[in-house]
Amino acid sequence: MKTINKDGIYSWILYGGAILEGYSGNTSNSKGFNFRGGDARNTEGIWFWNKPFIIPDPTTAGGKMAVLIMDTQGMWDGQTGQGLTASIFGLSTLLSSYQIYNVDRRLQEDFLQHLALFTDYRIMLISETRKYGRFE
């Protein structure tokens, strides 16, 4: 694909520069989402990158697709209630075709159960949308 550079990385991932989040101790990036190491919360709620990245759509000849980048606050921390955490996690799951989950040490079973629940809900919504048509 044309969107993959010689190292096999999508060009939109490196839009802000070749230093990726948390790499080499870097703790700031003026061209992307703010981030820092440690347990202190950095993002609150859900943030979206202000412009979509337009890339070739591999499913259609000559087609294009928009990639939107979203950042959410950390999940299941000591500061956020279960209801808000579930809402943020659920909404981000419903809005996403793909998710990258950053885990500090170990993926907990309860996270996988939440992921399965929201993924099943998303699949149900998609099937209902196809059945009755989209609401616009």
Query: Is the confidence at residue 53, as pLDDT, over 60?
Result: yes
Percent of the chain with pLDDT over 70: 67
Neighbouring C-alpha atoms within 13 Å toward the C-beta of 66:
6
Which residues are registered as beta bridge partners of 48? 70
- The 10s digit of each residue's pLDDT in 90-128 is 788 878 877 777 776 777 788 788 778 877 877 887 787
- Which whole number is the average pLDDT over 37-55? 80
Residue with tokens 């099943």: 120
Query: Is the confidence at residue 65, as pLDDT, over 50?
Result: yes
Residue 54, pLDDT score = 86
Indicate the pTM of the whole model. 0.59
Q: Which of 1-5, 58-62, 127-131 has the highest mean pLDDT?
A: 58-62
Residue type, position 15, single letter: Y
The domain segmentation of the chain, as residue ranges, is 23-132
- Report the 10 Å Cβ neighbour count for 118: 19
Candidate from 29-38, 43-52, 92-101 with smallest mean pLDDT: 29-38
Candidate from 14-18, 57-61, 125-129, 132-136 with smallest mean pLDDT: 14-18
Residue with tokens 């703790």: 27
CA 120-121-123 angle, 5° bins: 65
* Terminal C-alpha separation, the chain: 32
